[in-house]
Amino acid sequence: MPAQKIIKHPIIGEYKIIKKNRSRVIRLSINESKGVRVTIPIFTPFNEASDFLESNLEWVLKSLEKEKQKKRKQALNLNRSHSIKLINGELSFFEDKNLTSCKCNTPIKLDKTANNSSTSWLITFAKGVDSIELTPYIITALKDAAKEYLPNRAQYFANRYGFSYNKLFLKNNKSNWGSCSSLNNINLNIHLMRLPSELCDYVILHELTHLKHRNHGKEFHKYLNSLCGGKEKELSKKLKEFYPTILFQ
């Protein structure tokens, strides 16, 4: 494990300094789930990382504000009618005044309607229901949508490009969109269903490419780019505009 140190900053709050053997330069990163991180070479003193952050404090503050704005844009506002567009349908929310939060009545309901072209999931909830209480119902709907779509899509690309994986798992991850294990198992996040279809395809292709190239080296990106029609960098940038979890206002 790399040496780590957590620093309390008077303006940005806590940030983490991480020493890594493979690091050659000091790097700053801002991530919604991981926060502010400074990665430094293993023999670099921690105080140099702090000095580096201070010299780039304006950039850090702007990046943090950008993350907050992105969060607000994607957050669900349950004070009004809201819906989430899914690749294979739609997940909608509706506050029903006829539902109550008393013990004798279920304050939340999940209904599913399917037709030949798409599927609709509707979460109906009583007034006063906390948004966090809706999370299990949202996850249930996303799992259902993911089961209908992701295995077939992954198999389609595997057949098309000659990949062979062991098992495919659908997960509710909070920090990544997908992964590929050393056992050649593909893990896909159910929240891929909330992405534009081309970004979902990009993640699937990304993980399938790891079956041939285990790291993110030059050959990995070259091969993935060929599968993406030369749009790997563009798609990777677009993916960063989304969070692999549901946010509430």
Instruction: Select the CATH number that applies to the domain covering 82-239 from these four: 3.10.150.10, 3.30.560.10, 3.30.2010.10, 3.40.605.10.
Output: 3.30.2010.10
- CA nearest to 198, candidates 98, 43, 87: 87
DSSP letter at 123 equals E
Between 31 and 169, the more confident residue is 169
Paired tokens of 183:
């056992």
- CA nearest to 64, candidates 18, 15, 31: 31
Q: What is the pLDDT of residues 87-129, one digit of tens each?
A: 999 999 888 888 765 555 668 999 999 887 789 999 998 888 8
Q: How far apart are CA 188 and CA 177, in angstroms?
A: 6
In the chain, where do the E strands start and end?
A: 4-9, 13-20, 27-31, 35-41, 82-86, 89-95, 108-114, 119-125, 168-171, 178-180, 186-189
- CA nearest to 236, candidates 225, 223, 247: 225
Paired tokens of 53:
């952050």
pLDDT at 243 (0 to 100): 86
Model confidence at 2, pLDDT cuts 50, 70, 90, reads: low
Between 158 and 3, the more confident residue is 158
Q: What is the pLDDT of residues 152-209, one digit of tens each?
A: 999 999 999 999 999 999 999 988 999 999 999 999 999 999 999 999 999 999 999 9
Q: How far apart are CA 235 and CA 213, in angstroms?
A: 19
Q: How far apart are CA 14 and CA 83, in angstroms?
A: 35
Proportion of the chain above pLDDT 90, given as a percent: 66
Boundaries of CATH 3.30.2010.10 in the chain? 82-239
Quick check: 79 pLDDT over 80?
no
Name the least confident of 1-10, 72-81, 237-246. 72-81
Name the least confident of 56-65, 72-81, 147-156. 72-81
